[in-house]
Structure 1
Amino acid sequence: MRLIALAALLAALPASALAQTPAAVEQPLLHEVVGEVSPDRLLADVTALVGFGTRHTMSETRSETRGIGAARRWTEREFRRISSECGDCLEIALPADMVTGPRIPEPVEVVNVVAIQRGTGDPNRVIVISGHIDSRVSDVMDFTSDAPGANDDASGVAAVLEAARVLSKHRFDATLVYAVLSGEEQGLFGGRILADYAKAQGWVVEANLNNDIVGNSQGQSGVRDTTRVRVFSEGTKTVETTAQADRRRYNGGEVDSSSRNLARYVDGIADRYLTNFDVDMIYRTDRFGRGGDQVEMLRAGFPAVRISEGAENYDHQHQDLRTENGVVYGDTIDEMDFEYLGQVARLNIATMAALANAPMVPSGVTIAGAVRPDTTLTWTAAPGAAGYRVWWRSTTAPQWTHSRWAGNATSLVLAGIPIDDYFFGVSAVSEAGYESPVVFPGPAGAFVSVGDPAPAN
């Protein structure tokens, strides 16, 4: 009966209500978790992290009061405290590696702090939130000077910890992973260690939300804007093969990678569950010429996005603490906006809860319709799915705009809708109405990497 009621609701929705992909019906839980975020707790976390003086990857590791070692141990204690309040629902892992590189001339152990909240239904399906704990000043090799790293990226770490505090009170079908990474400023080492760990665990990572520089609402221009956050996503997959690229260039998919459709999903969550806070989808993997830990997750074939504040202030990142010609430089806590950081945390938390309660995205999505008036989509059934929606949009539209309920079938014919004029995709919907991201057909849009397509006829 619930499935029949869900189908009726979907059929009755006006076109404007179908413009975003997340939950097909309003979900009280998502409003609940959004309301549990505390800007005061975020302030306390950033204050604690800034108090370690520097968190440079090559800084002190034995001190209990200064350096990255002390900061990592503090983070581990916070995760363990959170876990004790939910009946030890979090498993704590410390994946690490000895690394060297252009910015690490002598071997250094890079250690991540990871808390794992196992899913109750499909624990191998994983949703990851991440932020990096290391900091730096103007000289990336200077590991002794004070480097508060308040916004870059204690803000991201605070969002990760807040997500753990809020979501650990609830249970989800999929596994949630809260990851605090090291070594980002020295070469994205924490992201690579996390990706390697995920592969070693056999995780099917459906999404990585990487939060890096998310705590300030006033940009370089001096204009304060508390209403927008940027979500960066790759257009074509980092792991795309030559054969896949050839097929994609001909038939489309440049703006429909799994990461891009994850970004659309995040955008829809903001529209539905946050007040006066909007996502700007940026069609780039990261800021121009720059990078973050999500890049290493993409290299491993996992869908990932970077979340960053709407407008950066470059006087307050990667800078020595100083004042020159009346301009104050340095990444200090007084330059942050914790109400804004609270909004970013709410966006992450609602997205994670929606994803973790939804079914896994459909796999094996294929499309046919050449030299026909109709378009046919087929897919493999997703565990936990009560039904599916087939989506389409103009080839120049940024968001999915039209959908049709397919019930529990694994194929649908869109009569009179030509394949040439639109882009298409499929999402899975749970009995409770939680909806997965949309999957674009073929390797270009698959959330789990697949082999090369068959040659065109």
Structure 2
Amino acid sequence: MRRSILTAALAAAPLALFAATPLNAHNHDHDDDRDGAQAADDPGLEVSEERLRADMDTIVGFGTRHTLSSQTDPERGIGAAVDWALAEFGRIGAECGGCLDVMPVGRVVEADGRRIPEPTLIRNAVAIQRGTERPDEVIIVQAHYDSRVTDAMNATDDAPGANDDGSGSVMVLEAARILSQREYPSTIIYALLTGEEQGLYGAGILADSVAEQGMTVKAVLNNDMIGNSCGSDGFCDAEHVRVFSEGLRADSTPQLRAAQRRFGGENDSPGRNLSRWLNSVAEDFPDGMQVRQIWRTDRMGRGGDQIPFLDRGYPAVRVTVAVEDYEHQHQDLRVEDGITYGDTVDELDFDYLTRSSVLNVRALDRLASAPMPPQVTADAAVRTDTLVEWQGVEGATTYLVVKRRTDESDWRWDEAAILSFETPVGDDPTPMAGRELTYTAPLRGDDWIFGVASCSFGPVCSPVSSAVPGGAFYPLEGDSED
């Protein structure tokens, strides 16, 4: 398993200034004690199918969660649904001694001439678990809470929205229950968004709020439909979720595109590397849910709540079912020609939903523990080697320099260079955060893509940041390369 390789190798890495050690699976023994401790501390094992079922019954019980439905009815409609979610986040926060800041994040959206016919309150239910060391460094796990039937403007008929996206919503609540019992260096934001079906409004509001507060977004995991395993054609895949990631950055500029033509980077956006990283997390647990990477922003001709974050330059991916069931998505509840239509609870695969939730919880646990990916550059012009440079990040004690051929899809982790950049101070090493760090690879850069992951003690490593224009996990205005 990849984590076993990294764990054993990093445990053996010397804490010497500018020391470089090749990572090779054949040179390090499997550490059974360490792996056993990690398994015992696996938060994914705490995911409860029973709680997921109970939450699902509650939220479909609001009849409809359409964004244009009642804001004031205490039992039916989006207002009641959001009020319950806020109260549930409050109960979860009370269980951890008030560790969650719970709030409705929203605003009134003006009529858009499309799916918002009049000024409408878009209200998200948000809970923030502040990081203990780097509270402005955030991971967002989100799902859209609103639902719909065939007519996107029908706000009155029953719209259970069990899979789309009650499944993602109950996962977010379950993640909050489990992870709020732990402390992390980085902040986790749990978000149930509304307005998705009317134009991704809730996600845009949250993305703007994060930007206004000056937060650094490490990753956005948008979970939209993670609860069924069979498609409309009868094809089933209960072993995978799809992870969609953009190629060229949505916040690209003419200057960036020109730089990418000269130096590469067409397949190395932060979202693409976040997708690769999620795949590696899944591979660490071969009996669990696996990832099938889809290298496009979203499904053909469609979109989701990761897009407003991508538009603002934040690393984001969509996590969704391996195959879609169109008869139970965006449909009026009915039986027609012997076919039952509608997004109802009885069409869910709760084992699949549970395993999808486990993957999310494991990924969030690691993301909130790991440092930020560094900003990386590579210089290989008219030379037979490649100079890789990056700036040290807070919380990192070790870095992995990885590579892949330009036509390869994934990083060569088993050939990573392990570098510790630390200055001993008494018995405690002090990471060189903010310092310019370098590594010279004895390879011609024309033929290779390089990247760097930052790791904390544990070890827990970030996604890789590619040494290409636009590869940094920051909006472009914060990327000194561009």
TM-score by length of 1: 0.93
Cα deviation for residue 46 of structure 1 reads 1.1
The answer to whether 1:132 aligns with 2:148 is no
Give the Cα separation in 2 of the matches to 1:45 and 1:454: 45
Report how many residues are paired. 446
Deviation string, structure 1 residues 338-392 (Cα, Å, up to 9, x no partner): 11111111111111110111111112x1111112111110100110111111110
Match of 2:96 among 86, 105, 125: 86
Which segment is superposed worse, 205-214 or 368-377?
368-377
- Rounded to whole Å, the distance in 2 between the matches of 1:15 and 1:270 is 22
- Give the match for residue 7 of structure 1: 13
Q: Deviations over 1:278-335 (max 9, x none)?
A: 1001001011110011100111111000000100000000000011111110000000
Change (3 A) 1:34 1:13: farther
The one-character-per-residue Cα deviations of 1:382-426 (angstroms, maximum 9, x if unpaired) are: 1011111111011121110131112217110012x1101111101
Matching residue of 1:369:
380
Distance 1:209 1:438 in 2: 16
Structure 2 residue corresponding to 1:439, chosen from 445, 465, 474? 465
What is the letter of the counterpart of residue 394 of structure 2?
Answer: P
Structure 2 distance, partners of 1:299, 1:4, is 36
Give the SS at the match of 2:465.
coil
Of 407, 430, 438, the match for 1:411: 438
> 78-87 or 246-255: which moved more?
246-255
Residue equivalent to 1:310 = 322
Q: Percent identity?
A: 45
Partner of 1:211: 223
- Cα distance change, pair 148–222 in 1 and its aligned pair in 2 (3 A): same
2:454 to 413, 428, 450: 428
**Aligned letter for 1:52?**
F
SS of alignment partner, residue 35 of structure 1: helix
State how far apart, in whole Å, the 2-side matches of 1:367 and 1:449 are.
Answer: 19
Corresponding residue for 2:248? Answer: 236
Structure 2 match to 1:21:
none
Query: Is residue 331 from structure 1 mapped to residue 343 from structure 2 by the alignment?
Result: yes
- Change over 3 Å in CA distance of 1:27–1:439 after alignment to 2: farther
CA distance in 2, matches of 1:163, 1:322: 33
The whole-number CA distance in structure 2 between the counterparts of 1:318 and 1:338 is 20
When residues 383 and 395 of structure 1 are mapped into structure 2, their CA distance, relative to the original with a 3 A threshold, is same
Q: State whether structure 2 residue 476 is matched by structure 1 residue 450.
A: yes
Q: Aligned residue for 1:399?
A: 410
Distance 2:179 2:162 in 1: 24
* Equivalence for 2:47: 37
The one-letter code of the counterpart of 1:439 is S
SS of the equivalent of 1:180 reads strand
The Cα shift of 1:29 comes to 6.7
Gaps of 5+ in 1: 18-23
Aligned equivalent of 2:372, options 343, 360, 367: 360
Aligned twin of 2:18: none
Q: Distance in 1 between matches of 2:12 and 2:319?
A: 32
Q: Cα distance 1:305–1:30, how it changes in 2: closer, same or farther (>3 A)?
A: farther
CA distance in 1, matches of 2:162, 2:468: 42
Asked if the contact 1:63/1:70 (under 8 Å) is kept, the reply is yes
> Does the residue aligned with 1:191 lie in a helix, a strand or coil?
helix
The answer to whether the 8 A contact 1:126-1:174 is kept is yes
Report the 3-state secondary structure (helix = DSSP H, G, I; strand = E; otherwise coil) of the residue aligned with 1:95.
strand
Query: Aligned partners of 2:394 and 2:445: how far apart in 1?
Result: 28
Q: Deviation per CA, 1:220-279: give whole Å up to 9, x if none.
A: 221332101000000111001111011113321111100100011111110103524210
TM-score (norm 2): 0.89
Alignment partners' CA distance in 1, 2:374 and 2:356: 28
Query: Does 2:76 correspond to 1:66?
Result: yes
1:443, 1:450 within 8 Å by CA — same for their partners in 2?
no
What is the distance in 2 between the residues matched to 1:213 and 1:4? 36
RMSD: 2.2
The aligned residue for residue 309 of structure 2 is: 297
Change in CA separation of 1:46 and 1:340 when aligned onto 2, cut-off 3 Å = same
Contact 1:30–1:353 (CA under 8 A) maintained in structure 2: no
5+ residue gaps, structure 2, are: 1-7, 16-20, 29-33, 423-436
Paired amino acid for 1:405:
I
- Alignment match, 1:389: 400
